[in-house]
A and B are shown apart, each in its own frame.
Chain A
Amino acid sequence: MTHPAAVAPTVLRPRWVVGGVVAVAVALVLGLTVGAVSLPVSGVVGELLSHLPFVGSKSSLSAPQAAIVTELRLPRVVLGLLVGALLASAGACYQGVFRNPLVDPYLLGAAAGAGLAVTVVIISVTAATGSAGLPLAAFAGALGAVGLSWFVGRAGGRRSAASLLLAGIAITSFLTAIQTYLQQRNSDTIRQVYSWILGRLTTADWGDVLLVLPYFLITAAVLLAHRRVLDVLAVGDEEAAALGVPVARTRLVLVATASMATAAAVSVSGLIAFVGIIIPHAVRLATGSSYRIIIPLSILYGAAFLALADLVARTALAPAEIPIGVVTAFVGAPFFILVLRTSPEGRA
């Protein structure tokens, strides 16, 4: 038996972090070198190096090829990393707040709200404005829906996590019903709406990256700061309060942060499913239930996972693109079946 004093509290092991960083690096490298158009690896490396100051190398690629690397692949891969990190960390946070390992970031209505807002914009705005207003609509819709769930969940003085969850389910159903009705009445817009809903990084550019980056930095900082607090919340509202955590206020901060992360992700990439559940859950199964581990690793592995999924989405049937939500679902469903069959009793 281990000597008791040698037992240490659960901490983030460096090797897991290194693994995460390596995964991100691999996703980045593969994402830049592999694609619908095959480019020589040396050419890609040369192109990237030529952009670094003080390194005097020149690129061997033609202008269109260089554009593929720096204007198409690089922002897309970076965006995939950011969106994956946002969704996975938001999912992990929600799982901690609601004490339920099967919760995803769209639970409080973010997906339904964004979908409805996008549908309304596509229907009512003429084609002249194109798709310029969609990211803003998606962001506002997502946050609006979560806010609505928050207020409905608090009605009558109830402040529990369970009532918030129920409100989220109700709001989601309601908004989805409205969206479906609108699509029925405007069936010529269905294709456009669905192509957004299934999620895509196809139109990623540096503008999107800059849009999302501040949200990533802020939400990651807040969630990382709260990782121990999420562990305390695991013992329930009353006990957590007895241990000194201001539960209602903390829950508000956490839900707001995770919702903002989800809204930012959804606004640039549509609704990508499964990332927010699979990654935190996989981390939990591999390393245990402490959010001190789950939050940072969700950020790293969520980023790598989505960037790699996007790689598959754009190369499996090149030059056609599989919507990325389809790829993550293809991975997600077998993953859950595997989890069901192999998890030992007592490990959720």
Chain B
Amino acid sequence: MAVLAAAGIVADLGGARILDGVDLTVASGGWVSIVGPNGAGKTTLVRVLAGALAPREGRVLVDGDDVRGLRTRERARRIALVPQTPVIPVGVSTLDYVLLGRTPHMPFFGSESSDDVGRAHGMLERLGVGALAGRSVESCSGGERQRVFLARALAQEAPILLLDEPTTALDIGHQQEVLDLVDGLRAEQGIAVVSTMHDLTLAGLYADELVLLGGGRIVERGPAEEVLTEETLRRHFGARVSVLPGAHGPVVVPHRAPGKAG
């Protein structure tokens, strides 16, 4: 049962056609990872899915409802978004920042309950930044911040999670931690995840389905083994790679240019 379904999405930005007929569905508990070269339109697609950008054609249905037709508050309860470069407010503690994620669950003119505060603390703990609750967001390191951003999105407790480059600033250990956590949550709570990622191997490792975006269209779709082939990657990324079978999925290995002896 598809909890998020996009059909025939055509989207323009600044007069240019970015997406030219994109379909995408995610089921409850599923994980779709969008990959593609820079400028392919990955972030634009995420914004359209989140309801932040209106497509010229096509619709995005969330549990059967058009995402653009939902009231802002209802949309925030169903979709949580972590943008690629979130705004870092000045002088705000990480706890307060994560509490912002509870906004769709609080009365509009109200304040947070102790339950909300407890959940916020809990989310920070699960992401390994519980000790930073009193620190201001801008004083955290890049890796700490990225986890705080994710904590806020998770605090929304929405059934759909959209992550735009969630692991760029993280070291390999933290990358695994974060992705493991998201993986666990989707198994536990049936959250549907859509992510964009530069790291193809990592994307293939965690997602059920990869979607390769090229020139505004979906050029390949399927499980990682099918999408991550040397031929495909050469054609769409212009990259020289070998794809090796790994323990849990294909591993993409880049080559150096020929003629440069090691």
- Per the CB under 8 Å rule, do A and B touch in the complex? yes
Which residues of A come within 8 Å of B, CB atoms? 1-2, 4-5, 7-11, 225-226, 228-229, 231-232, 234-236, 238-239, 241-247, 284, 288-290, 292, 346-348
Instruction: Give chain B residues whose Cβ lies under 8 Å from the Cβ of A239.
Output: 81, 83, 86-87
Find out whether the CB atom of B89 lies under 8 angstroms from the CB atom of A289: yes
Q: B139 contacts which chain A residues (CB < 8 A)?
A: 346
- B112: interface (CB < 8 Å): yes
Decide: A225 near B52, CB < 8 A? Known: A4-B124, A9-B99, A290-B92: no
Q: Main SS of the interface on chain A?
A: loop
Give A104 to B75 CA distance when docked, in angstroms. 34
Question: Which chain B residues lie closer than 8 Å to A347 at the CB level?
Answer: 90-91
Minimum CB–CB distance for B143 against chain A, Å: 18
Asked whether B57 is an interface residue with its Cβ less than 8 Å from the other chain, the reply is no
Verify if B250 is at the interface (C-beta below 8 Å from A): no
Which residues of the other chain, A, contact B111 by a CB distance below 8 angstroms? Answer: 11, 228, 292
- Verify B100–A235 contact, CB threshold 8 A: yes
Q: Which residue of B lies closest to A249 (CB)?
A: B72
* In the complex, chain A residues whose CB is within 8 Å of the CB of B73: 244, 246
- B residues less than 8 Å from A232 (CB atoms): 100, 103
B110 touches A228 (CB 8 A): yes
Alpha-carbon gap, A348 to B139, bound state (A): 14
Question: A243's contact among B95, B130, B156, by CB below 8 Å, is which?
Answer: B156
CB-defined contacts of A289 to chain B, threshold 8 Å: 89-92
Top 3 closest pairs, chain A to chain B, by CB? A244-B76, A289-B91, A244-B104
A235 with B79, Cβ < 8 A, contacts A242-B50, A290-B92 known:
no
Query: Could you tell me if B90 and A8 are in contact, using CB atoms closer than 8 angstroms?
Result: no
CB of B147 within 8 Å of the partner chain: no
Chain B residues whose CB sits within 8 angstroms of the CB of A246 once the complex forms = 71-73
CA distance A5 to B156 in the complex (A): 20
Quick one: which of A1, A7, A235, A288 contacts B86, CB cutoff 8 A? Answer: A235
Flag if B72 contacts A245 (CB, 8 Å): yes
Flag whether B186 is at the interface (Cβ < 8 A).
no
Contacting pair A235 B89 (CB below 8 A): yes
Contact assessment for A242 and B81 in the assembled complex, using a CB-CB cutoff below 8 Å: yes
| Residue on A nearest B53 in the bound complex, by CB | A238
- Asked if B138 CB lies within 8 Å of chain A CBs, one says yes
Q: Contact: A7 with B93, CB < 8 Å?
A: yes
Q: Chain B residues near A228: list those with CB within 8 A.
A: 103, 106, 109-111
- Beta-carbon nearest neighbor of B134 in chain A: A7
Closest chain B residue, CB of each to CB of A248: B72
A9 touches B52 (CB 8 A): no
Taking a contact as CB atoms under 8 Å apart, the answer to whether B99 and A235 are in contact is no
26 contacts between A and B (CB under 8 A): A1-B131, A2-B134, A4-B121, A4-B124, A4-B125, A7-B133, A225-B109, A229-B108, A234-B87, A234-B89, A235-B86, A238-B83, A239-B83, A239-B86, A239-B87, A241-B52, A241-B72, A242-B52, A243-B101, A243-B103, A244-B76, A244-B103, A245-B103, A289-B91, A290-B92, A347-B91
User: When each residue 113-128 of chain B gets 1 if its CB lies under 8 Å from chain A and 0 otherwise, what string results?
Assistant: 0000100110011000
The interface size bin for chain B is 35 or more
A1 to B134 alpha-carbon distance, docked (Å) = 10
Q: Is the CB of B77 closer than 8 A to any CB of chain A? A: yes
Most buried by A among B80, B108, B120, B138: B108
A218: min CB distance to chain B, Å: 15
| B131 contact set on A, CB distance < 8 A | 1, 4
Hey, which chain A residues are within 8 Å of B77, CB to CB?
A: 244
A1 contact set on B, CB distance < 8 A: 131
Query: Does B165 count as interface, using CB distance less than 8 angstroms?
Result: no
Please name all residues of chain A whose beta carbon is closer than 8 Å to the beta carbon of B72 when the two chains form the complex.
241, 244-247
Check A235–B81 contact: CB distance below 8 A.
Answer: no
Our pick among B99, B101, B121 for the contact of A5 (Cβ within 8 Å) is B121
A9 touches B91 (CB 8 A): no
Closest residue to B153 on the A side, CB-wise?
A242
Closest to B129 in A: A4
B96 on interface, CB distance cutoff 8 Å: yes
Residues of A within 8 A of B110 (CB): 228
Residues in A whose Cβ lies below 8 Å from that of B117: 8-9
With the chains together, A224 CA to B180 CA distance in Å?
A: 42
- Chain B stretch 129-159: residues in CB contact (< 8 A) with chain A: 130-131, 133-134, 138-139, 156
Complex-state Cα separation, A2 to B95, whole angstroms: 13
Interface of chain B residues 191 through 221 with chain A (CB within 8 A) = none
Distance between Cα atoms of A2 and B99 in the complex (Å): 19
Residues in B whose Cβ lies below 8 Å from that of A10: 93, 96
Taken together as a complex, chains A and B put the C-alpha atoms of A230 and B76 apart, in Å, by 17
In the docked arrangement, what's the CA distance between A238 and B79, Å? 13
What A residues does B50 contact at CB under 8 A?
Answer: 242
Q: Given A241-B72, A244-B73, A346–B92 Cβ distance below 8 Å?
A: no
Which residues on A sit within 8 Å (CB–CB) of B138?
A: 346
Interface string of B59-87 (1 = CB under 8 A from A): 00000000000011101110111010011
Q: What residues on B are CB-neighbors of A234 within 8 Å?
A: 87, 89, 92
Give Cα A246–Cα B72 distance, bound, in whole angstroms. 6
Q: How far is the CB of B157 from chain A (nearest CB, A)?
A: 12
A161 to chain B, nearest CB (A): 12
